[in-house]
Each structure stands twice: as structure tokens, then as C-alpha cells.
Amino acid sequence: MPSYTFDLNGKPVSVDAPADHPLLWTLRDQLGVTGPKMGCNLDVCKACTCLIDGEAYTTCVTRIADVAGREVTTIEGLADGDKLHPVQEAWLAHDVPQCGFCQPGQIMRTVALLKKTTNPTDAEIDEIENVCRCGTYFRIREAIKSAAEHMPST
């Protein structure tokens, strides 16, 4: 079985897996990284969203072979030790989570959005497809706007 090496939350990892094994299940079942969630396994709900080289991807449809040599960031790798990322802080400030299951994906998607724009419009926020079955959308929207204000300038 082929072996693939990539950076996971800043540390190199190697896994043996078939080339087309989805990254999500390597993370969850081979590496024990369970922050990215499975809500559909069909690239619909987006709960498995992680960053690959800083961009948001749904890991349930990403081949492990494609990830070799790349940088993968999951929700577990977002905070700097005990210091939360501004998006995580905004999520707490707006008391966003209900069941919480979709929120790692929502947060990772937001982090990617705020890398592209420092001032997201309602129309840009509307493009986020991540499903929240508890219906926390309005608080997510508010948290995104508030996080945008607190992002360190780059």
C-alpha cells in the first residue's frame, strides 16, 4: 500500500492508504483527528471542511494521494496553543453553537473566506453552503462579520 506524507496542523505525518482513500477518513479513522465531521459523505453538507494550503476543501471527496506534500489544517490546528483564532473567539462571543456538529466546518470555511476578504458582504456570506441543521445561520453571519473586524491585518 502506498505511503503519503503531508503536514497536519504543522507537523509532518505519514500514512499508508490506497491512493483514492478520502482524506476525511484518513484523518478520522487512521490518525484519530475527529474535528472534521461527516454529515453526508457527498460533498453536500460541508461539515468536513478543512484547509489545504490555506484554502477550504471538503475532505470527504479529497483523495489522500492529492494531499501528499501539502499542508492540511483541521479545526484542531486553528488555535495557537490556548490562544484561540479570532474566528473561534467570535463564535464564542456570539454563542453560535447549538449541537455544534457543523461548526468546525463552518469555522474553517469562514477562516478561508476571511483570507480572501477582510470585509465580507452579506452576498459573500450567502455563498457559504455549509449546512447547519440547528439553524444557527444568523449567529454565524454575525460572528463572521465580527471576526472580520478582529482579524490581525496582514
Partner 1 sequence: MLSKDAKDDDEDHRGVVSVAVGRRRFLTYLVAAPTLTVAARIGLDSGAAAPAHAAIPSPPQLLGETIDLQDLLVIAGLPTAGLLFQIQVNEDNTVSVPLPRAEVGQGLTTAVPMLIAEEMDIPLSSVRMTLADARPELVMGQISGGSSGICTLYDPARAAAAAARARLVATAAQQWGIPSERLTVTDGTIHAPGGRTATYGSLAVAAAKADLSKLVVEPKPESKAKLVGTRATRLDARDIVTGKHTYTHDLNVAGAKPCLMRRPPTIKGTVQAVNNADTVRRMPGVLAVATIPTGVAVLAETFAQALDGVNALDVAWGPGPVDNESDDTVRQKLRRAVGPVGDPPVTLPLGAGSLEAEFDFAFLSHAPLETNAAVADVRSDRAEIWSALQTPIITQETIAKELRLPLHKVTVHVMPSGGSFGRRLFFDAALEAAQISQAMGRPVKLIWHRTDDIRHGRVHPAKYHKVRVNYVRGNVLSYQHWSASVLTSLEHGFGEALTTAVAKIPGIGNESLNQVAFHAMVHCPYNFGVVGQHLHEVNMPIDTGSWRSVWSVNTRGVEEIIVDELARRFKKDPVQFRREFLKDDRQRAVLDKVASEGNWGRSLPAGVAQGLAFHDEMKGVTACLVELDARDQKHPRVTKAVVAVDVGRPINVSGIEAQVLGGLTDGISVALSGGLHLRNGYFLEGSYHNFHYARQKDTPPQVQIFVMPANGRPGGMGEFAVPVSFGAVVNAYRRATGILPTSFPINSDIDWEPYPPGPVPNPPMRPLPPKR
Q: Does 146 sit near partner 1 (CB under 8 A)?
A: no
Binding to partner 1, residues 69-88 (CB under 8 A): 69-70, 74-76, 78-79, 84, 88
H helix runs in the chain, sequence order: 23-25, 64-67, 86-93, 103-116, 122-126, 137-150
Q: Does 95 sit near partner 1 (CB under 8 A)?
A: yes
Find out whether 99 and 136 touch, Cβ atoms under 8 Å. no
What is the smallest separation between the CB atom of 154 and partner 1, expressed in angstroms? 17
What is the smallest separation between the CB atom of 134 and partner 1, expressed in angstroms? 5
**Which residues, in sequence order, are bridge partners of residue 3?**
16
Q: Does 151 sit near partner 1 (CB under 8 A)?
A: no
What is the smallest separation between the CB atom of 66 and partner 1, expressed in angstroms? 4
Cα 23 off chain centre by: 13
